[in-house]
Amino acid sequence: MATQFDLIVLGGGPAGYVCAIRAAQLGLATAVIEKEKLGGVCVNIGCIPTKALLHSAYIAHLLKNAADFGIQTTGVKTDYGVAMQRSRKVADQNSRGVDFLMKKHKITVIKGAGVLQPGRKVKVGGDVYEAKKAVVIATGSRVKGIPQIGLELNKTTVISSDEALLLDRTPASLAVIGAGAVGMEFADIFNAFGVTVTLIEALPRILPLEDADASTELAKSYKKRGITVIAGAQVTKATVAKDKVMLDVEAGGAKQQVETAAVLMAAGRAVNVENIGLKECGVQLTDRGFVKVDQNLQTTAAGYYAIGDVAGPPMLAHKGSREGVVLAERLAGRKPHPIRYDNVPSVTYCHPEVASIGLTEERCKEQKLDYVAGKFPFSANGRARGTGETEGFVKIVRDKKYGEILGAHIVGAHASEIIHELAVARENEYTVEEIDLAIHAHPTMSEAVAEAALDSLGRVLNM
């Protein structure tokens, strides 16, 4: 095996493997070092298997309400173990797909844990590999507990998404700590599989980074489905027993105890920066523990770059992949379109889905922007009525004078797909008038986008 490459990428997740593919496409001799399966967290224990389980959850929910659609179902039973096995197959298929892509692009895959060395070198076991151009750090992130309050991950009663994705059966009850993307998605899944779910969020509302209207809509929807939401809550103490956990929770000045069979920690992730030789190579970290990078994704050590979760928020697969592409192009001497970090879509795949891009209304207020918000509910959309998916809305916040789209927020079925119309619009600086000029097919959920644009202009048609 060769020991010299143009580019060596440490980590084969969506940032690293995509960077390697683009580099190889541009003629750079490239190697990827990966200690586990190719595809990283996203493919193996993150985005992909979670979406498979969320689809099982969706089917369970649909069947419970099938009678409304003229379909009688009797004896509908859920089996988490079967859904889990299916999700593993999907994840494995995707990981094998990455293996195939590496072969297709003649990228060398080195199995093992890499440690950076000075001089653009990486040691794997007893072998040392050298990069002529660059070493790319794409080591990603991992789950974490909160040992400070007694919630250390123990893989049985205090679990993370890693374990939740591999359970054969559901626990009788589950407290989910944190109502960001991970917490929202797993609360949705376990509720659909019949588990009593309590969702506990420290900040005043669930999905705290989303527009307040989105949080309100989801809180309403989760309540309807029997998920207990406790927001603005502090877990002051956790008593972990063999088969249950007792949580002391304070919210709104009141104290309560939540007894649960298991706790799922979803209060953020830790980045993988330990034991990979960063210090030895002069690669510094930020105050928040990410690898410090400049606008070219170069670390504080020349010839060492970082992309993906390890290089800072948002910790999203698509942000990491885009960094990988842009970095590969720069290293190959191209001048790629710069990454607009204010234009990375955010999606939570719970039901109803939540998707957004750009500024929330609160942020517009904080920044004292002169804006107008337009909103269109799916309850007034013909397609949504047809499928019975009338929860949610499209909200567009536009600049008052020029009509520029400052932010867009979608709650509803297929929000994760619909958001891209707004992503294209924002990347190309289209206005709300231009959104409306594009003819939207009828009947579609996307018509709500055009209607929200029109609403922001004071001329909504179907409401």
**Which residues contact ligand NAI (rule: CB under 6 A)?**
146, 177-183, 185, 200-203, 208, 235, 266-269, 314-316, 347-349
- Name which of 33 and 235 has its Cβ closer to ligand NAI: 235
**Alpha-carbon gap, residue 263 to 387, rounded angstroms:** 34
Min. distance of Cβ 366 from ligand NAI in angstroms?
18
Min. distance of Cβ 262 from ligand NAI in angstroms?
16
User: Comparing C-alpha atoms, which of 354, 343, 348, 351 is closest to residue 415?
Assistant: 354
**Alpha-carbon gap, residue 203 to 179, rounded angstroms:** 9
Q: Is the dihedral of CA 136, 33, 94, 63 positive or negative?
A: negative
**Alpha-carbon gap, residue 262 to 241, rounded angstroms:** 10
> Nearest 5°: phi and psi at 12?
-105, 35
- Name which of 266 and 422 has its Cβ closer to ligand NAI: 266
**Alpha-carbon gap, residue 422 to 448, rounded angstroms:** 12
**Alpha-carbon gap, residue 312 to 234, rounded angstroms:** 26
Active-site hit among 105, 409, 440, 442: 442
Min. distance of Cβ 314 from ligand NAI in angstroms?
6
- Name which of 119 and 314 has its Cβ closer to ligand NAI: 314
Min. distance of Cβ 284 from ligand NAI in angstroms?
22
Instruction: Give the number of other Cβ atoms within 10 Å of residue 235's Cβ.
Output: 22
- Name which of 87 and 456 has its Cβ closer to ligand NAI: 87
Q: Are 136 and 307 contacting, i.e. CB atoms less than 8 angstroms apart?
A: yes
Min. distance of Cβ 230 from ligand NAI in angstroms?
9
- 442 catalytic residue (yes or no): yes
Min. distance of Cβ 144 from ligand NAI in angstroms?
9
Residue nearest to ligand NAI (CB): 180
Q: Is 449 helix (H, G, I), strand (E, B) or coil?
A: helix
- Name which of 125 and 314 has its Cβ closer to ligand NAI: 314
**Alpha-carbon gap, residue 103 to 87, rounded angstroms:** 25
User: Comparing C-alpha atoms, which of 45, 310, 47, 55 is closest to residue 161?
Assistant: 45
Compute the residue count for the chain. 463
- Name which of 229 and 266 has its Cβ closer to ligand NAI: 266
Q: Is the dihedral of CA 49, 54, 58, 60 positive or negative?
A: positive
Min. distance of Cβ 127 from ligand NAI in angstroms?
33
Neighbouring-strand partners of residue 33 = 10, 110
**Alpha-carbon gap, residue 275 to 286, rounded angstroms:** 17
Q: Are 271 and 289 contacting, i.e. CB atoms less than 8 angstroms apart?
A: yes
- Name which of 236 and 296 has its Cβ closer to ligand NAI: 236
Q: Are 179 and 229 contacting, i.e. CB atoms less than 8 angstroms apart?
A: yes
> Nearest 5°: phi and psi at 292?
-75, 125
Min. distance of Cβ 83 from ligand NAI in angstroms?
18
Burial state string for 132-171 with b = 16 or more CB within 10 A and e = fewer than 16? ebbbbbbbbbebbbbeeebbebeeebbbbbebbbebeebb
- Name which of 187 and 453 has its Cβ closer to ligand NAI: 187
Catalytically active residues are 442
